[in-house]
Amino acid sequence: MGSNLMKKIFAKKLGREVKVEEIIYIEPDLVMTHDHQGPMTIREFENIGADSLWNPDKVIFVMDHRTPSQTLVAVENHQKLRKFAKKYGVTKFFDVGEGVCHDLVAEKALVRPEMVYIATDSHTVTEGALGLFATGVGSSEMASIFATGRVWLKIPETIKVTLKGTLQKGVYGKDIALRLLEIIKTGGADYKVLEFGGPGASSVSVASRMSLCNMCLEMGAKTAIFPVDNVTVEYYKEKGVGVQELYPDEDGEYISEIIVDLDQLEPLIAFPFSPDNVRSVSQLGDDVYELNQSVIGTCTGARYEDLKVAADILKGRQVKSGTRMLIVPATKDLMLRCTQEGIIETFLKAGAMVNVPCCGPCGAYGMGVVAEDESTITTGSRNFVARMGAPGAHIYLSNAATAAASAIEGKLTDPRKYL
Amino acid sequence: MNKSLNGKVFKFGDDIDTGQIIPGKYVVLTDPDELASHVFEDIAPEFKSKVELGDIIVAGKNFGTGSSREHAPKAIKFSGISAVIAKSFARIFYRNAINIGLFAITLPQVDEFKENDQITINLNEGKVINHTQGKEYEFELPHKVMLDIFAEGGIIPFTKKELNLK
Ligand code: SF4
């Protein structure tokens, strides 16, 4: 039996074949923590009592969750992390305002195909979009990696997801993720790898692949992974980086296969309070789902393609009075590009607010929280109870086009009529 | 490992996410006792006053889904809970739990447990005994790599020992 993508990556690194269920010890190529899990990580690192990091060049710090520093505790945590980074020689330090961790490591081409990337964030799986093995751990485990340069992993089983057809207008990676959630449900890929491929993959951009891999975590996946194909090679080429294509063997090892027909896929929305509570925009019916807020932000829908389509929809139109619209570009460089291209101007003229790159309202950290009995649509990845504010607040998850169209009408809206 | 955990049961449902265990606003805290003082604040405010040292949580599927915050298992452990039994766990929560010294086991029959049942988890034999219901269950012990970490009290003491640090 041949190898799937994950097995190929580990086999190259270890110089031998790996078997499902086997425990391996491995030195990560890169690790990351942020201002949310970082304070606990450095506290535990100090509890270990090691006097140096195993390799400061392989460590990334990102200040993105509680930024711009909203409270005294938050700013003190930022201070502690800056001090720690200085003391232990961490130079890959992205300070307040630079952007969201999962977007930054890709944008700066820090993560590369075939790497093993471990970070203290559940959505680390996002990076699998670029053909690497990326997964999350907790703070104590990261503290241990800081000290030893080693992590143990159990080789998981892999589910193959075959994409057929072509992504249609108004449909994005977010919708593929929601479709999968509808099929296998939260926890449906517990401890497993979701490997993407098939003839439809070439119609899915890196931005969309990232949102898709990101949400595989909501299915319980240990990671998600795309082959390194033409789309990936082009992505790195634009950054001046050459990478090798990487595909699974034809007879790779999979426990099951899911086929998603992109031709048939419509914009989807996850209703409260679970990402797998999915409905299609064309099935909204006569019920009116009024919105107090619309958010385009987070690591699951605030990249260039998202902001661009939102601006195309909002151009010359107005956000409905009574609905607040908040836009948080994923990184500073992206915000600059959008400023230069007039995209930010379009948002402001349409009546939206634009915020500094950060996690934004994703986890109710400070900005854009919603009250009891309010409802919000968001391009984020989670609509759990109280995720964005009051426990009773209704959260709808969608792609950026749907969030923009819904802001114009003040209710859940099919974006395709604006495209 | 010769160890048994004893306590009364607290029942929780399916898909209890880390934000329900410890709300996001408290993730700025790093002190485990402070975290414990806010455990389950939104969904079970009475939990804190009822929990006694050694008690055991019995929950449904996908326990600990959501963020990677180990603040969640820490808040549970430092409230006095010794173990969580669930139908299934979100991967990072499970790993975090063992890494910080909170025992976690998967058991399909969790629906047979009732709130306040007195139970014992025998780590040596891989058995859960429900004294109130008069039933016994076998469970699969965590992988050796995790048991070794748990036996040292978590990954921090484990790493200390590995690196010969005091
Ligand atoms: S944007 Fe949301 S999901 Fe993404 S890293 Fe930040 S808090 Fe996590």
* Predicted pLDDT of residue A415: 98
CA pseudo-torsion sign A348, A352, A355, A358: negative
Burial class (CB in 10 A: 0-12, 13-18, 19+), A401: buried
B76 in reach of chain A (CB within 8 A)? no
Percent of chain A at pLDDT above 90?
A: 96
8 Å CB contact of A137 and B95: yes
Which tokens belong to A105? 């490591």
Residue from B12, B20, B21, B28 to probe the interface with A (highest A Cβ count within 10 Å): B28
Q: What distance in angstroms lies between residue A72's CA and the mean position of ligand 1's atoms?
A: 21
**Tell me: the pLDDT tens digits for B95-126?**
999 999 999 999 999 999 999 999 999 998 99
For A7-153, CATH gives: 3.30.499.10
Q: Which of A220, A224, A211, A217 is nearest to A167 (CA)?
A: A211
- Confirm or reject: Cβ of A402 under 6 Å from ligand 1: no
**Tell me: the pLDDT tens digits for A82-100?**
999 999 999 999 999 999 9
For A270-418, CATH gives: 3.30.499.10
pLDDT exceeds 70 at position A136 = yes
Q: Tell which B residues from 116 to 145 touch A, by Cβ distance under 8 Å.
A: 143, 145
- Chain A CA closest to residue B157: A48
B59 in reach of chain A (CB within 8 A)? no
- The three-state secondary structure class of A28 is coil
**Tell me: the pLDDT tens digits for A94-119?**
999 999 999 999 999 999 999 999 99
8 Å CB contact of B62 and A220: yes
Q: What distance in angstroms lies between residue A299's CA and the mean position of ligand 1's atoms?
A: 6
Q: What number is the average pLDDT over the span A212-221? A: 97
- Confirm or reject: Cβ of A123 under 6 Å from ligand 1: yes
**B contacts of A124 (beta carbons < 8 Å):** 68
Q: Report angle CA B17, B23, B27 to the nearest 5 degrees.
A: 110
- The three-state secondary structure class of A4 is coil
Q: Which amino acid is at B47?
A: F
Q: Which of A364, A355, A357, A347 is nearest to A310 (CA)?
A: A347
- Chain B CA closest to residue A75: B28
A413 in reach of chain B (CB within 8 A)? no
Residue from A41, A122, A273, A387 to probe the interface with B (highest B Cβ count within 10 Å): A122
CA pseudo-torsion sign B89, B90, B95, B98: negative
Of the given ranges (A152-166, A275-289, B132-146), which has the lowest mean pLDDT?
A: A275-289
Phi, psi of A237, rounded to the nearest 5 degrees: -60, -40
Q: Which of A116, A103, A101 is nearest to A28 (CA)?
A: A116
- Confirm or reject: Cβ of A78 under 6 Å from ligand 1: no
pLDDT exceeds 70 at position B1 = no
Domain ranges of chain A: 7-153, 156-265, 270-418
Question: CB of B145 within 8 A of CB of A26?
Answer: no
Q: What distance in angstroms lies between residue A125's CA and the mean position of ligand 1's atoms?
A: 12
8 Å CB contact of A49 and B68: no
- Chain B CA closest to residue A137: B92
ipTM: 0.95
- Confirm or reject: Cβ of A338 under 6 Å from ligand 1: no
Q: What distance in angstroms lies between residue A298's CA and the mean position of ligand 1's atoms?
A: 6
Percent of chain B at pLDDT above 90?
A: 93
Q: What number is the average pLDDT over the span A181-202? A: 97
pLDDT exceeds 80 at position A285 = no
**A contacts of B61 (beta carbons < 8 Å):** 187
pLDDT exceeds 80 at position A366 = no
**Tell me: the pLDDT tens digits for A397-410?**
999 999 999 999 99
* Predicted pLDDT of residue A116: 98
pLDDT exceeds 90 at position A148 = yes
- Confirm or reject: Cβ of A65 under 6 Å from ligand 1: yes
Percent of chain A at pLDDT above 70?
A: 100
Which tokens belong to A267? 């914009």
- Confirm or reject: Cβ of A299 under 6 Å from ligand 1: yes
8 Å CB contact of A121 and B165: no
B71 in reach of chain A (CB within 8 A)? yes
Q: What distance in angstroms lies between residue A320's CA and the mean position of ligand 1's atoms?
A: 27
A286: confidence class by pLDDT, cuts 50, 70, 90 = confident
Q: What atom of ligand 1 comes closest to residue A297's alpha carbon?
A: 1
* Predicted pLDDT of residue A314: 98
8 Å CB contact of A40 and B19: no
Which tokens belong to A281? 């925009």
* Predicted pLDDT of residue A153: 97
Ordered domains of chain B (ranges, CATH)? 4-162 (3.20.19.10)
Query: In the predicted model, what is the mean pLDDT of chain A?
Result: 97
A202: confidence class by pLDDT, cuts 50, 70, 90 = very high
Q: Which residue has the tokens 């995209």?
A: A343
pLDDT exceeds 70 at position B63 = yes
A1: confidence class by pLDDT, cuts 50, 70, 90 = confident
- Would you say the CATH fold of A270-418 matches that of A7-153? yes
Which tokens belong to B82? 């010794």
Residues in chain B: 166
Phi, psi of B56, rounded to the nearest 5 degrees: -130, 135
pLDDT exceeds 70 at position B2 = no
**DSSP states of chain B as a string?**
---EEEEEEEE--S--BHHHHS-GGGGG---HHHHHTTTTTTT-TTHHHH--TT-EEEE-SSBTBS---THHHHHHHHTT--EEEES-B-HHHHHHHHHTT-EEEE-TTGGG--TT-EEEEETTTTEEEETTTTEEEE-PPPPHHHHHHHHTTSHHHHHHHHTT--
Query: In the predicted model, what is the mean pLDDT of chain B?
Result: 95
Q: Select from A35, A62, A65 the residue to mutate for testing ligand 1; criterion: most ligand atoms less than 8 Å from CB.
A: A65
How far off is chain B from A181, nearest CA to CA, in Å?
Answer: 14
Q: What number is the average pLDDT over the span A121-128? A: 98
* Predicted pLDDT of residue B166: 74
* Predicted pLDDT of residue A123: 98
**A contacts of B160 (beta carbons < 8 Å):** 47-49
- The three-state secondary structure class of A59 is strand
Terminal Cα distance for chain A, rounded: 46
Quick count: other Cβ atoms within 10 Å of Cβ A369? 18
Quote the CATH superfamily of domain A156-265: Aconitase, Domain 2 (3.40.1060.10)
